[in-house]
């Protein structure tokens, strides 16, 4: 099923992504990658959520790490090319645009957790936290595109907040 989701994001990215300005979006794609890689590295022994494949391609998508890397290399660039490439000019429409993306990401996660068994939450993480996370994430992606240093600073605060809220033990970090 992860192959299907990734294929749909790739197709959407090819159709609706702003490929003419991909160089402008590239730093934000790397910012997106870095956040996920950092989360996967630091919390390797204490994941808040983990992926698994249960429907199609279990032999290829045999671990959380492989699935996560596939998402990073397919879904994240496609997301950025569409999200930033079509970001509305007005603040009101921008809020609706963010809400659309938060709803899409959160809806996919809800279906994957509740019905398809493709994602599991751990250590107190749940769909409500995912929605909050997605709101912050899409906000920070836009901030990064406009002001990278501010986004890095806000991200550090957000990470420290989450580590404290979820009482992540330092001995579980890599």
Q: Domain-by-domain residue ranges, the chain?
A: 2-172
Helix orientation angle between 76-83 and 91-114, rounded to the nearest 10 degrees:
160
Share of the chain above pLDDT 90, in %: 85
pLDDT of residue 54: 82
Q: How far is it, in rounded angstroms, from Cα 40 to Cα 50? A: 10
Question: Using an 8 Å Cβ cutoff, are 116 and 67 in contact?
Answer: no
Q: What is the mean pLDDT of residues 70-76?
A: 96
pTM here is 0.94
Question: Using an 8 Å Cβ cutoff, are 109 and 119 in contact?
Answer: yes
């Amino acid at each position: 099923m992860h192959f299907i989701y990734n294929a749909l994001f790739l197709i959407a990215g090819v159709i609706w992504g702003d490929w003419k300005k991909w160089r402008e979006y590239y730093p934000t794609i790397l910012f997106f990658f870095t956040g996920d890689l950092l989360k996967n590295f630091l919390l390797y022994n204490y994941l808040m959520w983990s992926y698994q494949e249960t429907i199609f391609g279990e032999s290829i998508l045999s671990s959380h790490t492989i699935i996560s890397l596939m998402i990073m290399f397919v879904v994240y660039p496609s997301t950025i090319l569409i999200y930033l490439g079509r970001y509305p000019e007005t603040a009101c429409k921008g809020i609706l645009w963010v809400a659309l993306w938060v709803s899409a990401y959160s809806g996919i996660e809800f279906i994957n957790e509740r019905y398809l068994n493709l994602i599991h939450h751990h250590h107190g993480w749940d769909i409500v936290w995912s929605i909050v996370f997605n709101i912050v994430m899409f906000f920070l992606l836009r901030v990064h595109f406009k002001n990278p240093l501010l986004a890095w600073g806000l991200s550090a605060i957000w990470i420290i907040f989450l580590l404290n809220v979820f009482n992540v033990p330092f001995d579980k970090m890599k």
